[in-house]
Amino acid sequence: MNAGHGSPNGPPPDLANLVDEACHRAGYPSGATLIRHFANAVYLLDNAPVVVRVGYSLAAAAKARTALTVVRWLIAKDFPATAPADPPTGAEQPLVFDSMGQPVTVTFWHYYPQPLGVGWPGTDVLGTVASALHELPTPPFELAQFEPLRTMTAVVRDPAARLALNKAERVWLAGRLVELRATFRELDSPLGRGLIHADMYTGNLLWSSTADHGPVLLGDWDSVCFGPREIDLIPTYAEPRFGTDPATVDAFVRSYGYDLRQWSGFQVLYDIRELSTLSALIRLAPTNAASRAELRHRLGLLMHGDRVTPWHGQ
């Protein structure tokens, strides 16, 4: 399966072989099915209830180590986080491989099959989870400070971005990134600073059991860091861009207990969130027609200041 050209910010050329090699090193049976490929590649092992996450940015290994540390601390605090699956061989996670001179990071996580005929946990549940996370004490370890659009900045600077973006698009994005990052530095934080998930939306919630549909677990901790808690709220406000009923935003507000729209910094965070959704599309666009089309769609709307026209799922 050829998924890319080995760019520092793009997928390695043979993800399937790398997953098999990682399974062998970890002691899991070989054979896995790709279930998602966007910012990361996510596989489900064919013969074990384990999910394999493959990261291929230069920062993926450091992110994975942080995610594992944070999740283990959260679980010890009885916070509902998805749990890592420790390799039977005792191999230490994350596993790091070389692919055409670029590091590829692999981690293993428990698989939580979702109940049939039951929808995704809603924004009301997400608000409760976000509130619980923000009420936790400061962790006893160092975390990176939140830096808006860091990944997006690296992607745009990568020479491989020329395969996905024309000159006018690159110039516009570079200027917009500078503008938003500078404006962010001037914001206050009514909710204060602390441990944040930094990619908190309903797509990262999972039912923990097929029997009773709960409790709900929060997964995908690749972006976890220390920063203003407003960062964990803004993704829900951006969900209507993907066609979600705006009433779900109000449900989140009631559950969390604070409406971000009353804050003067709301629009800045909203624009940052929307722009950040382009990073994975830029990585995948050179080899994936659907990602290329959606990139053109979103970028064209953003360049023309359109905050209303719906986007498509990716």
DSSP string, 8-58: TTS--SBHHHHHHHHHHHHTPPS-EEEEEESSSEEEEETTSSEEEEEE-ST
pLDDT, position 171: 95
**What would the DSSP string read from start to end of 230-279?**
GGGTHHHHHGGGGT--THHHHHHHHHHT--GGGSTTHHHHHHHHHHHTHH
Q: Tell me whether domains 15-110 and 123-303 share a fold.
A: no
pLDDT tens for each residue of 173-186? 999 999 999 999 99
Signed CA dihedral, 71, 72, 76, 80: sign only:
positive
- Higher-scoring residue by pLDDT: 4, 38: 38
pLDDT, position 24: 96
**Residue 6 confidence (pLDDT) above 60:** no
**2: region left, alpha or beta (phi > 0 left; psi from -120 to 50 alpha):** beta
Strand partners, 32: 45
Amino acid identity at 175: G
> CA–CA separation, 8 vs 204, rounded Å?
25
Q: Domain 123-303 is in which class?
A: alpha beta
Tokens representing residue 83 in the block: 């749990």
pLDDT, position 4: 38
**Residue 191 confidence (pLDDT) above 80:** yes
% of the chain exceeding 70 in pLDDT: 94
- Whole-prediction pTM: 0.90
pLDDT, position 137: 96
Q: What is the CA angle 251-253-254, rounded to 5?
A: 65
Domain ranges of the chain: 15-110, 123-303
pLDDT tens for each residue of 84-119? 999 999 999 999 998 877 889 999 999 999 888 888
| Whole-number average pLDDT of the chain | 91
3-class secondary structure, 4: coil
pLDDT, position 3: 36
pLDDT, position 42: 95
**Residue 61 confidence (pLDDT) above 60:** yes
Q: Phi, psi at residue 56, to the nearest 5°?
A: -135, 20
Q: Average pLDDT of 274-298?
A: 93
pLDDT tens for each residue of 198-240? 999 999 999 998 766 668 999 999 999 999 999 999 999 999 9
**Residue 1 confidence (pLDDT) above 70:** no
Fold of 15-110: Phosphorylase Kinase; domain 1 (3.30.200)
pLDDT, position 214: 67
Q: Average pLDDT of 26-35?
A: 95
pLDDT, position 5: 39
